[in-house]
Amino acid sequence: MTITAEMVKELRQRTGIGVMECKKALQESKGDIEKAITSLRKKGYARAKEKMSRETADGLVGSYIHLDGKIGVLVEVNCESDFVARNKEFKELVKNVAMQIAATDPKYVSSEEVAAEELEEEKEIIRAQFKDSGKPPEVIEKIVEGKLKKYYEEVCLEEQPFVKDDKISIKQLVATHITKFGENIKIRRFARFALGKP
């Protein structure tokens, strides 16, 4: 399979990753762009993890207003330098995160923020649903773990599928930008306002 410059360009535009890495991913996937994207995401996310422990002292507070002013969001996204904070793509990321919050109404940024009591309460609710099912306890625990993943997707921003591309989570979206900029990026906090709701 011949890898054309157009294919490399399309993959680069869709992922933001360097030309050589895009070409290599296309060769590995035999020209299948979707497979190449998956491969690059996996590699990019692995590289991004190394940067996730670095200090983030810069960034932006972004906003998004939806439904003619009925829903509003403020979100703080941090990065390491003002160079990245001023970048158009970083600003777009902040806007997309704010839009995600407006659309999905998460309670937390990450699963680490969910209180142990709340998690235990959720597990008890799930267990109670299967109490009379006749399933063995170890099977019920596996079901609980599976349903907890769904619960995290509902309440934790980073675990949610991205509204513009549900093949990736918000955590993966941020990771691709970490790889792109070579800097750590963190969603620090957010506030979502819905007219007439507490």
**Residue 180's domain is classified under what CATH number?**
3.30.479.20
pTM (global) more than 0.85: no
What's the pLDDT score for residue 139? 85
Helix, strand and coil percent figures for the chain, each rounded to 5: 55, 20, 25
Claim to verify: residue 119 and residue 130 sit in the same structural domain: yes
Claim to verify: residue 166 and residue 137 sit in the same structural domain: no
Claim to verify: residue 67 and residue 147 sit in the same structural domain: no
Claim to verify: residue 79 and residue 162 sit in the same structural domain: yes
Claim to verify: residue 36 and residue 63 sit in the same structural domain: no
What's the pLDDT score for residue 52? 60
Quick check: 91 and 62 in contact, CB under 8 A? yes
Comparing 71 with 179, the larger pLDDT belongs to 71
Neighbours of 74 (CB within 10 A): 15
Q: Report pLDDT digits (tens) over 124-157.
A: 888 888 878 888 888 888 888 888 889 999 999 9
**Residue 26's domain is classified under what CATH number?**
1.10.8.10
Claim to verify: residue 150 and residue 74 sit in the same structural domain: no
Q: How many domains does the chain have?
A: 3
What tokens appear for 147 in the block?
């349903």
